[in-house]
Amino acid sequence: MQRGTVSVLVFLLMTMLSAPTVVAQTGAPNGEWPSYGGDDGSTKYAALDQIDAGNVDRLQVAWQWESADTAVITANRELGPAGFKATPLMVDGVLYIRTSLSIVAAIDAATGDELWVQDVGSYASGRPTNLGFNSRGVAYWSDGDDARIFLATGDAHLWAFDAATGRPIGRFGADGKIDLTLGLRRPVDRNAYQVISPPMVVGDIVIVDSSISDGPRYMTAPPGDIRGFDVRTGELRWTFHTVPQAGEVGNDAWENDAWTYTGNTNAWSIMSADQELGYVYLPLGTPTNDWYGGHRLGDNLFAESLVCLDAATGERVWHFQMVHHGLWDYDLPAAPTLVDITVDGRDIKAVAQVSKQGFTYVFDRVTGEPVWPIEERPVAPSSVPGERASPTQPFPTKPPAFERQGISVDDLIDFTPELRAEAEEILAQHEYGGLFHPPSEKGTIQMPGWGGGANWYGAGFDPDTGYLYVPSRTNPISVRLDKADPERSDFNYRRGRSGLRGPQGLPLVKPPYSRLTAIDLSTGEHAWQVTLGDGPRQRLIEMGVSDPGPLGGGAYTGPLVTKTLLFLGLGGGRQSAQGPVLNAFDKATGAIVHAVDLPATLSGTPMTYMAGGTQYIVAAFGRGAEAGLIALALP
């Protein structure tokens, strides 16, 4: 879809001709969890009800599994992975998980006993780019006779394993693997290219994305092309150029032949798919580099766009660009959520995309038509030489933003006059304004910052209420552009300072600092919004401020939605006295039904399933050599 308004007549015609009958969603099927988000539409929903408001206070640890990384890290402490962020799959009573070091394990879903481990040694290539040893999960595929686990690794290989034994599938690629750094439009440095998120299997195609270095020194960078491989043989079936090449749709959005060298524009986060339509949905990121685009003038399609592809052919079906000529690192950070909704009496097969900037964009997932109008509105120009920011950006008219956007004096912290005065001094040292105020040589405060708003944990959807549940963070940052050293870079400008400390180490702005929002997708309005976590509450009390109540902040996971409750893991953070918990929320109101105390802070989004007549909730925890899975169940 190009910028502009599609006429009502064209839209109605498209709807009548192409929209199939809506099939009710059920989330994860048959008490299993066969895809990262429960189902391939990433609803994170399971219609399980054994754990409910009447007994959730009895949840206890059923078993724990120690990550297969532990022995490797103990022998080589220099590896040092950060948080273990993966979510396991569960199929036929077996959990499948990718560790931070790209080791794959199969685990008995009822007991936590390890069934097999496959270590392909990808960590021997060294620390992967960006967030290092990072992991989201694996993909599962079966045709009824053959069952496979697909792993995309930190050293950029795609592996296929026998789901029963863990042995590589020898007839897939070369002895079970494909080198993903090969076959792209130009040579790729493995140190700048990895895969964090699980592949997506649609029909007989396994689709792979990538994570590419966010700190490049040169305009020419690895391309973020999306590729589809034959699920049985590993043969390359298609490639989608995320930076359109000569003669392709969108190529004219790159001025001065910038399409010939610009890289990134990759989908580092989780993809979603509609198996019935045969479509895969790609949340794409910013082009090279994140903060300065003087060398890539134009709108820069398909950067920061939601792109729908025919998974069998790799052909573009439709797209929508959320950020023109991105200068803010506003990657689409999370899996698109496929939802079946009814709006004004009309059934819609929809897709909802949450964003770092705090918007939820909702489209007909068949046609790409916005469910509610999205308006092009004027935004501030850039003051940086050689830069030309887009004069307008798209703003959804519904749903309302779930996070604060832009910053002014009125947003600053004001627990005491002294804190407010110090905050005003910090603000005055920067440029600032509304959402999409461009980076500057002085330094610009950007809110939300590059961490969101929403981020990789994404949203959950409840087909019973029609609510989309979105955890988010209020996270302003400062971005200053510095002239690049011509001996070390061919950019005119690169990112300089990006940190932002508030008064006395507190946040710069008023609370809440994280929140959970329920959006009614039948109306496009917020149903409720609650604060997530205590945040720096204890710190303020120690400073003599009257107890302000929960302020929001600390670590949190993505949501898990069941027939009865909404679950989300929380950790206290450095300035909080709150311990790690799994909160169970009332789906209709956001009230906390019970906080389940945990032995460790959860780092991966929880999932749930039935095994042996028992409902389990399982999530990843920890980091480095002290990481694993924890399973909760009723006694």
User: In this predicted model, what pLDDT tens digit does every residue of 423-470 receive, in sequence order?
Assistant: 999 999 999 999 999 999 999 999 999 999 999 999 999 999 999 999
| Regions of the chain where pLDDT drops below 70 | 1-25, 572-577
User: Which one of 3.20.20.70, 2.140.10.10, 1.20.200.10, 3.30.70.1230 gives the CATH number of domain 8-633?
Assistant: 2.140.10.10
CA 153 vs CA 319, 518, 521, 543, 629: distances in Å: 28, 34, 36, 47, 20
The residues spanned by each domain of the chain are: 8-633
Q: What is the DSSP string of 486-539?
A: TTT-S-SEEE-------GGGS-SBPSPSEEEEEEETTTTEEEEEEE-S-TTHHH
pTM passes above 0.85 = yes
Among 88, 85, 83, CA closest to 107: 88
Among 563, 631, 564, CA closest to 596: 631
CA distance 409 to 406: 11
Which secondary-structure segment (H or E) carries 417? Answer: helix 417-428
Structure tokens at 453: 């708003």
Backbone phi, then psi, for 517, in 5-degree steps?
-115, 135
Residue 576: per-residue pLDDT: 59
The whole-angstrom distance between residue 218's C-alpha and the CA centroid of its chain comes to 26
Query: Which residues sit opposite 608 in a β-bridge?
Result: 617
Among 43, 207, 31, CA closest to 605: 43
Q: 157-164 — which CB contacts under 8 Å span 24+ positions?
A: 157/120, 157/122, 158/195, 158/199, 158/206, 158/208, 158/229, 158/234, 159/104, 159/120, 160/206, 160/234, 161/104, 161/118, 163/91, 163/94, 163/96, 163/106
User: In this predicted model, what pLDDT tens digit does every residue of 117-173 receive, in sequence order?
Assistant: 999 999 999 999 998 999 999 999 999 999 999 999 999 999 999 999 999 999 999
Residue 21: per-residue pLDDT: 37
CA distance 211 to 129: 8
